[in-house]
Structure 1
């Protein structure tokens, strides 16, 4: 038997919901978190869905019955990931449940094109998982001249989400998940947002990445504040230290440390669990702005993470930088 809780469309079996809190933790997997969930007929979109956490999140949401759009830059890799998911599901996922959308977060124009293409489908969007991101030690610029962490991890997702407000609102109970990180503790972000594009100081990879992860959390808070009345709730998630391709651009020393630390990291199935929980658990559908770690609501790792004034300031600056008309 299933019951409907919170956002009026999240369905969990009674037994699964009752026992869920007891069994969740750092080593829980995305499948365990989603046990008993029924997302039949609901639409989800996952950015960076062709690999790592995005691919696993896509797989698990589809196993729960959702129709999932895999929004990826490389369509060849996206199609290969789609085929892998379908083959591994052994018929439990129908081909019609997985569709592709070309999304290049390195370009605001292409990000806008992707959002417009999705909106043209005329579908409600119940779940938006802003999963894609980069972590690089060297300075790199997007097509639009933004420092890459700022441009890809924050600004492109900011624009993409704002351009999807219509299908999100139409869902009458949508949820947006921003992939943040405890790396926000390295952030140098302050009130005034001075030189957030790294134009007047020496570039440093960890603070740049940390800034973007703090921005992800601040964006989720402000999005919920502005659009909860429209039925849109947003949360931020730290997936844990996970063995994925995220660190593929790191230098030799960092890569060697990563290899040595691999036995202590979460695997992809465990890493995707927290964002799946935040996305579908009924108890987190009424109000947003929460931060999750190890399948629990947690305190974010930066003193300004819950600063409402900074979140609003970042929103306004982001509107200006992406050229968005509110």
Structure 2
């Protein structure tokens, strides 16, 4: 089986990409690789200062890279709206949205709007962002939305009666698994809706296997084992980059490492859990997400008309 590497990324000249959480880890590596292949890349980050440091690192390697730093705090839906409004004002189209930013197993905490932080950032913030820039994606034939999930989705369960862990008590690993399962359910439902509207926009997903990044700062065991078991972020970003650029990707595809338990190795199309294939849960999550975020996607008919 051939290894898919950075050398397989097609030329991205003329394309515009938004990468959330592009200041470090997988997001940084994805932004760096896309910029190196000619894309104009928006570094969408909660901290402008950290984004500017990332920008400087990329420019030191790729001096001709076109980079844009924009503030995006996915834990605040008002700020997500502000970011999307600025993007719609600044850009005429969008070729690639990489929903990468996330939080992993933090202490019990909530978003500005009061939602459990992991579901709020990892899913709801990206759900809102995607809906608010959808018109830009629809203006670019062949555009893609790539959402970064995790093998933790296999332990995830959508508890629609207690999404914020208020009744059952906070379990940070269960909350993380739920949020990563939500990423895959969102990808599937988005793909179905785009297809129903006859739109040439792909919704795909990826996961990095075991990759050592600062995402794991709240998980002491992972930090201890990362030097021994974790892939470098540049390699861990390959599934995301393949989902984002491989010409053979179709809506609903999911990419991850090809090695043992999908933990290590070069990217290939991989499986997902039965829960992640539930169309009923995907539809219900979509409805709940619209209610929680206040972001209502256009209907298939409206999208098809370009309303």
1:194 aligns with 2:161: yes
Residue number among 253, 256, 269 corresponding to 1:297 in the alignment = 269
Residue number among 63, 69, 83 corresponding to 2:36 in the alignment = 63
Q: Which runs of structure 2 are paired with 1:211-222 in the superposition (5 Å)?
A: 211-222=178-189
SS of 1:100's partner is: strand
1:260 aligns with 2:225: yes
1:306 to 1:267, Cα distance in 2 relative to 1, 3 A: same
Partner of 2:216 in structure 1?
247
Q: Distance in 2 between matches of 1:120 and 1:260?
A: 45
Partner of 2:2 in structure 1?
22
Partner of 2:100 in structure 1?
131
Contact 1:125–1:167 under 8 Å retained in 2: yes
Partner of 2:283 in structure 1?
312
Partner of 1:15 in structure 2?
none
Count of aligned pairs between the two proteins:
286
Query: Cα deviations across residues 99-128 of structure 1 (Å, max 9, x unaligned)?
Result: 011101110000111011001113210010
Contact 2:131–2:296 under 8 Å retained in 1: no
1:209 aligns with 2:176: yes
Q: Distance in 1 between matches of 2:152 and 2:221?
A: 19
Structure 2: state its 5+ residue gaps.
Answer: 258-266, 298-307
Structure 1: state its 5+ residue gaps.
Answer: 1-20
Residue number among 91, 94, 105 corresponding to 1:122 in the alignment = 91
Residue number among 268, 271, 278 corresponding to 2:236 in the alignment = 271
TM-score in terms of structure 1 length: 0.85
Contact 1:137–1:206 under 8 Å retained in 2: no
Q: Distance in 2 between matches of 1:136 and 1:227?
A: 32
Higher relative contact order (CA 8 A, sep 6+): 1
TM-score in terms of structure 2 length: 0.90
Contact 2:242–2:255 under 8 Å retained in 1: no
SS of 1:22's partner is: coil
Contact 1:137–1:204 under 8 Å retained in 2: no
Q: Distance in 1 between matches of 2:97 and 2:38?
A: 16
